[in-house]
Amino acid sequence: MDSPRLAFPRPPAVKRQFFDANGVSWDVWDVSPQDLSRVDYDRRATARAQGDVRGFSASVYPELREGWLCFQSTLEKRRFAPIPPDWHDLPDGVLRVMLEVATPAPAAEPLRPRPTTND
């Protein structure tokens, strides 16, 4: 019996790791605004937490509408846009240059605990 084939709108996610000039390890992967509408990033939103994403659309800066590369180390994240063709095949030296000119990404706000009711 043949198993059903999954149809991907683009190739499966590729993640690369490299080291910058200071020996810091960086992970890099591509991000598409369409990906954001398929993932429940804000678990505090009741409708999305229950799986309803019909009314959700990702709002991104105009320069990021075609997607970006996310560079992440243990200390920070950066964004590089647009995504270069075949970026995953580029030498580490080219990724280092892209990292240097990438824009620092804003830090994510930590989730705040839900208020509790004292009976």
| Inside any domain, residue 91 | yes
DSSP assignment string, 11-47? PPP-EEEEE-TTS-EEEEEEE-HHHHHHS---TTSHH
- Mean pLDDT confidence for 85-101: 96
Q: Would you say residue 43 lies in a domain?
A: yes
Q: Return the pLDDT at 7.
A: 43
How many structural domains compose the chain? 1
Would 60 be classed as within a structural domain?
yes
**CA pair distance 118, 33, nearest whole angstrom:** 41
pTM to 2 decimal places: 0.66
Residue-wise pLDDT for 17-52, tens only, equals: 999 999 999 999 999 887 766 554 444 444 444 444
Q: Give a yes or no: residue 110 inside a domain.
A: no
Considering the domain boundaries, does residue 117 fall inside one? no
Which structural domain range is residue 62 located in?
A: 15-104
Judge whether 46 lies within some domain. Answer: yes
Asked, for residue 1, whether it belongs to a domain, the answer is no
- The model's confidence at residue 60, banded by pLDDT at 50, 70 and 90, is confident
